[in-house]
Structure 1
Amino acid sequence: MCELYASQSPDLYLVSKKSIRVQGVVTSLALENKVWQVLEQIAAQEQISVAKFISMLYQESIERHGAVSNLASLLRISCLTYLENGTQN
């Protein structure tokens, strides 16, 4: 039943930390490698860097909702939304 999911390479769910600047503040994000890959796809589609995409998403989320309580979760859900909408290249 779970063959498709269980057969994934462990490298995809290995967590990698990266430091980026969000609103002038350097922050460290720990995300799964697959999430980083999808963020790279989104950024490439928008013709911007991953750091710029994250910064823009953060700012737009604050404008809409007043705060971002968990940036890593916002990024994961954004990746899922991107994939669900079939907008990847």
Structure 2
Amino acid sequence: MCNIFVSQDPATYAGESRAVRLHGHCTSIRLEAAFWRVLERIAVAEGTSVARFLAALHDEVMERRGEVGNFASLLRVTCLHWLENQDRHAEEVAARVPEAA
């Protein structure tokens, strides 16, 4: 039943810490390697780096909610949301880019 899940490479769920600068402060975020790969794909789709995407996401959540709470959990759920809604995300990104005259 679970062969597809138990046969995955352990490197995909190994924890990986990365240093990120948020509001001028350096912090460390620890996520599973698979989530970092999805964040890299999101950043490419956004036309930015992972660091800039994370900073923008953090800033937008702060602006909307006043606090971020568990940022690592937010990032994991962001990855899942993006994987489930890639078409919608692509439409939103395309809508941000002004058409050439």
How would you bin the TM-score normalised by the shorter chain? over 0.9
In the superposition, the TM-score normalised over structure 1's length comes to 0.93
1:46 counterpart residue number: 46
Structure 1 residue matching 2:30: 3-state secondary structure: strand
Residues 21-47 of structure 1, C-alpha deviation per residue, up to 9 Å, x if partnerless? 011110001110000000000001111
In the superposition, the TM-score normalised over structure 2's length comes to 0.82
Aligned-partner Cα distance in 2 for 1:65–1:48:
24
Q: Which amino acid aligns with 2:27?
A: T
Structure 1 residue ranges, 4+ long, deviating more than 3 angstroms after superposition: 86-89
2:14 counterpart residue number: 14
Gaps of 5+ in 2: 91-101
Q: Which amino acid aligns with 2:19?
A: S
Corresponding pairs, count: 89
Residues 3-56 of structure 1, C-alpha deviation per residue, up to 9 Å, x if partnerless? 221111100000111101011110001110000000000001111010000000
Q: Which amino acid aligns with 2:53?
A: F
Residues 67-86 of structure 1, C-alpha deviation per residue, up to 9 Å, x if partnerless? 01111001000000001113
Gaps of 5+ in 1: none
Q: How does 1:1-89 map to 2 (within 5 A)?
A: 1-87=1-87
Aligned-partner Cα distance in 2 for 1:84–1:59:
23
Instruction: State the superposition RMSD in angstroms.
Output: 1.6
